[in-house]
């Protein structure tokens, strides 16, 4: 039982380590350069030079503190966008890669149901998602301590803990593309395009009469600014992200069950 989950999880250990090291390097660089910009951001005078649309697009609230600088430079750009796209890309290869390479017939000849295969492959993405969220908080906190900036330990761990359902939701978008398209390249490009497209839609429609269109967009329910700047944890948003992920996984399972492979 769970053979596919164990097999897929083992395959992702090395890649997850490289991913974590890459994100650690990015976080360390951002914390390291913050003292060079610290005086420029006093009272956020520099932000006044930015167009309001750019500030809204990247959800920039303040950079006059290390929390605000990290929220924009690392968590919105590096976590919400880059890591979200990576998980969508990874999810898009879960099923389509085996179909594209002609291995799916052999896999389905084993005593495993199609929904079980989809769920176990998807669950293996917990390896990169959990590992990167476990390894980053100590680096962020140590970096803040080294440059004499205090960060809330609870808020730093919370911003990572609350990102886990968001990243699974992004992976769910990729999973849907993976069962719809037989060519892995097409599935991955579709997942990247959809994930970045809905990020733009959610950012640009905020505060307009069409804001309701972003109600099913995962980016609406994970806001690093709220956690790091206000210390607010959106547990309702977490529940919605879990629900979005479950819907995406169930829809993918149903599609793959009826698909002729």
Tell me the per-residue pLDDT of 102-118, one tens digit each, with 9 for 90 and over: 999 999 988 889 999 99
- For 233-252, what is each residue's pLDDT tens digit? 999 999 999 999 999 999 99
Band of pLDDT at residue 43, cut at 50, 70 and 90: low
pLDDT, residue 64, reads: 78
CB 158 within 8 A of CB 233: yes
pLDDT of 59 over the 80 cut: no
Residue 226: which residues within 8 A CB-CB, separation 6 or more?
A: 232, 233, 234
Q: Does the predicted model carry a pTM greater than 0.85?
A: yes
Task: Find where tokens 């205090």 sit.
Answer: 150
Band of pLDDT at residue 201, cut at 50, 70 and 90: confident
Band of pLDDT at residue 68, cut at 50, 70 and 90: confident
């Amino acid at each position: 039982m769970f053979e596919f989950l164990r097999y897929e999880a083992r395959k992702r250990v090395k890649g997850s380590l490289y991913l974590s090291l890459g994100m650690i390097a990015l976080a360390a660089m951002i914390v390291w350069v913050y003292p060079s910009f610290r005086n420029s951001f006093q009272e956020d005078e520099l932000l006044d030079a930015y167009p309001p649309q750019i500030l809204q697009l990247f959800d920039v609230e303040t950079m006059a503190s290390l929390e605000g600088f990290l929220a924009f430079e690392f968590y919105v750009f590096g976590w919400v966008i880059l890591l979200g796209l990576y998980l969508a890309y990874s999810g898009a290869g879960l099923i389509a890669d085996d179909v594209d390479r002609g291995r799916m017939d052999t896999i389905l000849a084993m005593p495993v149901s199609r929904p079980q295969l989809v769920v176990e492959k998807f669950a293996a993405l917990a390896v990169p998602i959990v590992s990167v969220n476990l390894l980053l908080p100590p680096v962020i906190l140590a970096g803040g301590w080294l440059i004499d900036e205090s960060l809330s330990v609870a808020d730093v761990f919370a911003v990572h803990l609350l990102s886990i359902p968001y990243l699974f939701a992004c992976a769910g978008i990729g999973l849907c593309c993976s069962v719809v398209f037989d060519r892995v390249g097409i599935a991955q490009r579709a997942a990247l395009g959809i994930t970045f497209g809905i990020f733009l839609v959610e950012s640009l429609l905020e505060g307009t009469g069409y804001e309701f269109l972003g109600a099913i967009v995962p980016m609406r329910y994970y806001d690093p600014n709220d956690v790091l700047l206000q210390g607010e944890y959106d547990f309702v948003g977490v529940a919605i992200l879990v629900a979005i992920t479950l819907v995406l996984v169930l829809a993918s399972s149903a599609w793959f069950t009826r698909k002729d492979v």
